[in-house]
Amino acid sequence: TAAGILRQGLDPTSISVLGRKTADLREHYILGRKLGQGQFGTTYLCTEISTGCDFACKTILKRKLITKVDVEDVRREIQIMHHLSGHKNVVSIKDVYEDAQAVHIVMELLPGGELFDRIQGNGRYSEMKAAEITRIVVSIVAMCHSLGVMHRDLKPENFLLLDKDNDLSIKAIDFGLSVYFKPGGHIQLHSCCTLSNHYTSRARFLVS
């Protein structure tokens, strides 16, 4: 098991994260340029060979999964993405692959870029536009909570735009820290975060 492998200090690349054999990612997709970098995963542009359609592929290297919790987090991230699939303001998951080195999550491509970059580029929003964006973000959070999911990493960098010309085409991404909970119950969080002045300034909306 994954737990047994980690306890014995063996090669983490021998862990089966998905618990099943999958096809080879590269038989179906061509990986392109890097789109983003996170703590565990790197996201690349990928093109489906059979259709020529572009997607985003989050590649999580297994050598970075050094504890049982890390492995469980990846499994839960994939489960939650499937659980939320179909909502217009959540990035859609298409395929998942696993090989000896990594887990690959193929997702909808959101070419509009980060909401954070859009906020910075605009310099400031009118109060009405800021209210519209905030309303969408809050509705996404409410939807997740109604389905028993807590995102736990809400920041403008984790909201991307489907359309670069539409600031309201917002979709939530990165469910790597997300957890399930029972609405009306309680949840014990095993990690915490602090907001420095740097992150506070990055996260706020600039309103004229």
**Cα 151 from Cα 141, distance rounded (Å):** 8
Whether the Cβ atoms of residue 13 and residue 71 lie closer than 8 Å to each other? no
Query: Is residue 153 flagged as an active site residue?
Result: yes
55 sits in which H/E element: strand 54-61
The tokens for 180 are: 């399930």
62 a known binding residue?
yes
Select which of 70, 117, 153, 163 is catalytic.
Answer: 153
Which value, in Å, is the radius of gyration of the alpha carbons in the chain? 18
Work out the number of other CB atoms within 10 angstroms of the CB of residue 58. Answer: 27
**What is the distance between the terminal CA atoms of the chain, rounded to a whole angstrom?**
55
Q: Which residues are annotated as a binding site for ATP?
A: 62
Catalytic residue list: 153
Binding residues: 62
